[in-house]
Amino acid sequence: TQLLEQSPQFLSIQEGENLTVYCNSSSVFSSLQWYRQEPGEGPVLLVTVVTGGEVKKLKRLTFQFGDARKDSSLHITAAQPGDTGLYLCAGTGAGSYQLTFGKGTKLSVIP
Amino acid sequence: EPEVTQTPSHQVTQMGQEVILRCVPISNHLYFYWYRQILGQKVEFLVSFYNNEISEKSEIFDDQFSVERPDGSNFTLKIRSTKLEDSAMYFCASSRDSQNIQYFGAGTRLSVL
């Protein structure tokens, strides 16, 4: 069974600060997706990474896939209150289409 | 922008009743999925569907569950005899190809009383 551990579980920071959240596993993933989920809504896709060592940027968000494709990180620069939400990582294993989700990091950015 | 749509947004049912949750995937997508999220827990995979048949299913997806693509646009999840522990948010997702970038609907909240 593939598991994804996300840390920290909760993060509260001041507006303008930088932060990094992590997604770790002992398993290799073919691809890894980051989602953001608001209360009572479905996960909204932010980015997909597929190549070990890959880095993708989405405005102030930087996503990295580990060289061994077992871990990933999300770095937010100069966080804003609009970044508040639940950030989920989810991966697929070789030969499978099912997404395995982590429990998420709940981010609060205080104005 | 195309999106996955789910109906109803909230379904309340009595224990033992059958429910059908409906989804309209993105129109040019070929792979369809159901996930569920019990309150306060992580999103869990139920089933994937491709070429009119189930391609993968989890241990959660037992004989009480079934999926169907009755026409060219809808994808349904049926729970035959609901239990209290089936109460959860149910999410439908779809992806276009083997790159497997999955897009999720807003979910149906199922409450079993």
Segment B105-112 shows an average pLDDT of 96
pLDDT in tens, B6-64: 999 999 999 999 999 999 999 989 999 999 999 989 999 999 999 999 999 999 999 99
Low-confidence ranges of chain A (pLDDT < 50): none
pLDDT at B98: 65
pLDDT at B25: 96
Question: Each residue of A79-105: b (16+ CB within 10 Å) or e?
Answer: beeebbbbbbbbbbbeebbbbbbbbbb
Q: Which residues contact A5 (CB under 8 A, 6 or more apart)?
A: A23, A24, A25, A102
Residue B73 pLDDT > 70 = yes
Chain B residues whose CB is inside 8 A of the A98 CB are: 33, 45, 48, 56, 58
Chain B residues whose CB is inside 8 A of the A43 CB are: 43, 91, 104
**Best residue of B5, B36, B43, B92 to probe chain A, by most A CBs closer than 10 Å:** B43
Which of A33, A42, A98 is facing B106, going by the closest CB pair?
A42
- Residue that the structure tokens 């239990």 belong to: B83
pLDDT at A1: 67
pLDDT at B100: 75
CB-based contact B69:B78 (threshold 8 Å):
no
A43:B95 CB<8 A: no
Q: Among residues B87, B73, B72, B96, which one has the least CA distance to residue B19?
A: B87
pLDDT at A91: 93
A33:B106 CB<8 A: no
Q: Among residues A13, A1, A19, which one has the least CA distance to residue A75?
A: A19
pLDDT in tens, A41-64: 899 999 999 999 999 999 999 999
Task: Enumerate chain B positions whose Cβ falls within 8 A of a Cβ in A.
Answer: 4, 31, 33, 35, 41-45, 48, 50, 55-56, 58, 89, 91, 93, 95, 99-107, 109
pLDDT at A53: 94
Segment B99-108 shows an average pLDDT of 90
